[in-house]
Amino acid sequence: MFTRFAAEGREVWLTIDDGPTDDTAAILDLLAKTNTKATFFLKGALAAQRLDLVRSIISSGHSIGNHSYTHPSAFFWCLLPAWVSDEIDRCNEVLGNQSYFRAPVGMKNPAVHPLLASRAMLLIGWTARGFDTVRADPTRVAARILRRIEPGAIIVLHQGRAHSLSCIERVIDDVRQTGYSFVVPAEDRLKTKR
């Protein structure tokens, strides 16, 4: 699992999970206003219903990744290989073949690594998270992320909640104030360890 990347200075990678959702357009506006690039890890079932938003993400210069088809967060860790394969493949059928996969809630499943390897896909984790799925306070979310920021950190945030946009905005502002820039690193810069 890749949890960081080889930074060229004070760089971090912003990743946004769980879309596309009704707040995607507002998030894209925020990213454009702040000149921030990000990778959106999308759920296939949602993307199938909002292909317009998927196109908007890509046309805005952001990248996308596979976040499974149905996002079975409660039991992804124990799914049989055929079910994991189905989750990956159905999402790729909607999004097109993707290079990156993020497991629902980052859960490990013994079947994931060989299935991704056979598809030439990489498992992307994170370095810093603010627990914005359970915390609605942007100040607390950003403070937790800032404690874990270092060159090459991968930040995970989420969309689709009432507070998602304000959390993303606060994190971008606070991270920038510490002198970091946001990049989407090339695949050859990904690292599993420090």
pLDDT in tens, 117-132: 999 999 999 999 999 9
Predicted confidence (pLDDT) at residue 194 exceeds the cutoff of 90: no
> By the 8 A CB rule, do 161 and 141 touch?
no
> By the 8 A CB rule, do 44 and 19 touch?
no
Q: Which amino acid is at 65?
A: G
> By the 8 A CB rule, do 39 and 60 touch?
no
- Which pLDDT does position 108 carry in this prediction? 82
First and final C-alpha spacing in the chain:
13
Q: What is the DSSP letter of 16?
A: E
- For residue range 22-69, what is the model confidence (pLDDT) as tens digits? 999 999 999 999 999 999 999 999 999 999 999 999 999 999 999 999
* Total domains, the chain: 1
Q: Which helix (H) or strand (E) holds 2?
A: none
Gap between the Cα atoms of 178 and 161, Å rounded:
26
> By the 8 A CB rule, do 32 and 69 touch?
no
Name the band, by pLDDT with cuts 50, 70 and 90, for residue 193. low
Domain CATH code at residue 107 = 3.20.20.370
Gap between the Cα atoms of 137 and 171, Å rounded:
11
Domain extent, residue 131, equals 4-191
- Nearest Cα neighbor of 171 from 49, 27, 72, 20 is 27
Gap between the Cα atoms of 120 and 122, Å rounded:
7
Is the pTM above the cut of 0.95?
yes
DSSP codes, 162-185: TTHHHHHHHHHHHHHHTT-EE---
Mean per-residue pLDDT over the chain, rounded: 96
Q: Which helix (H) or strand (E) holds 39?
A: strand 38-42
**Residues 130-145: what's their mean pLDDT?**
97
Gap between the Cα atoms of 154 and 128, Å rounded:
6
